Amino acid sequence: MLARTVYTLLLYLLVPLLMLRLAARGVRYHGYFKRWGERFGLTPVLDGKPSLWVHAASVGEVNAVIPLVETLLARYPDYPLLLTTITPTGSARVKQVFGNRVVHVYLPYDLPGAVRRFLKRSRPLLGIIVETELWPNLYIACAATGIPLLIANARLSERSMRGYQIVPGRRLIRRTLREVAYVAAQSPADAARFCELGASPERVQVVGNLKFDMPPPLAAQRTGINLRDAWGEQRLVWIAASTHEPEEQPVLLAHLQILQHIPDALLLVAPRHPERFRAVEHAASVLGLRVATRSADRCANYSTQCFIIDTMGELMNFYGAADLAFVGGSLVPIGGHNVLEPAALGCPVLVGPHTFNFADITDSLLSAKAAERLTESAALAPTVLALLQNQAQRQAMSKAAIKISEVGRGALDRTLQKIAGLLRARSGLPESADQTIAAGR
């Protein structure tokens, strides 16, 4: 197929640039310097039984599949579970959550040789790809070796679909999706887009969003209470979570305006990328804010005005301590980040105009009045101030957010049923494996 040949040739030509990009990012975040061999399929050889393979690109996808992975570990303990990511932050999150209970490697670049080495060494019985990761050579190689692929928590924004439809890539993506055994779509809109790109309609089903099935965040609520005790229980606190560089300065400037009306207000900032931690701390200090950080100070105190969350995997704890959450990646055309995490904790949500990555969930929260949308960064300060000063509105938003979170559950069971069916067909596992939800879920 000509399109695949051209695609592969371009990838080979881009390899030097990919390595330079890893090195450049490694200057700011040293994890990018490590384990380069895995990017070319030189992964550890998994002996014994074939593996169950789950691919989650980065932190958000890893968080989304925690309940799924926990259930697979409990239900199929004899099969090694291989969890691949693309980013070092995703790798760190895997280690933090699962430790040595899973095998982690980086997914190789989509080069035929690298893909063959990866599949030969990892020997997957089944591949579970999370959300939107379409790699033609990987998918076609899996089909050629009889490895069924399931796209779990599948989502495809209108913007992403337009990108995939560019000629000549359209035919290659259609061929790629024809190799997928099952698409477990988050919403009817996602299902329709996958079918339009080329997935077989009989293999696409709307199962819902796995992020609704995260375990009840009781630990985060308890930790949130302890955090508030440390910095002052009565203080009004807002969090800017998963922020990107163009959003961070407006957030800090907004807090300066808020302090003029609420002098003891506290801002928590959790930059999306670790390489931004020090830059945000510096920017806040330059503006005259009294700054503390999670890594150096562990907790804010009564005098702290801005607290930088410069650690990974703790965001839920701080959502549990906040009165209001602005979820980043939405004031700029990134597409937004996970609004369900604060909603599940009853934390009212603010988003910017760009939420195409979580369009359906965001729309549900907006319709239920559990969230508000900002049209521009200039609206951040007055909107946050108004909500911080209106406890009744925050409480109403909180109740609505929790209700949306509870209603949306069930995607996990539906996804697990399909996984069990594919595994039975592939390995001869007994049907009784479908019937029992593992206690470790």
What residues act catalytically? 61
Indicate the DSSP class of residue 44: P
Distance CA 55, CA 115 (A): 14
User: Six-digit token pair at 267?
Assistant: 């801002």
Question: What does the alpha-carbon distance between residue 274 and residue 308 come to, in Å, rounded to a whole number?
Answer: 11
Q: How far apart are CA 198 and CA 22, in angstroms?
A: 32
Tell me if 415 sits within 8 A of 184, measured CB to CB.
yes
- CB neighbours of 312 closer than 8 A, spacing ≥ 6? 59, 89, 92, 93, 96, 274
Task: Give 83-139 as a DSSP string.
Answer: EEESSHHHHHHHHHHHGGGSEEEEPPPS-HHHHHHHHHHH-EEEEEEESS---HHHH
β-partners of residue 110 are: none
Q: Which long-range contacts (CB under 8 A, 24 or more apart) does 375-383 make?
A: 376/331, 376/352, 377/247, 377/250, 377/254, 377/331, 377/352, 378/250, 380/250, 380/251, 380/254, 380/326, 380/331, 380/350, 381/253, 381/254, 381/255, 381/257, 381/258, 383/350
| Residue 179 backbone zone (phi > 0: left; psi -120 to 50: alpha; other: beta) | alpha
Question: Do the Cβ atoms of 248 and 334 come closer than 8 Å?
Answer: no
Is the CB of residue 411 less than 8 Å from the CB of residue 209?
yes
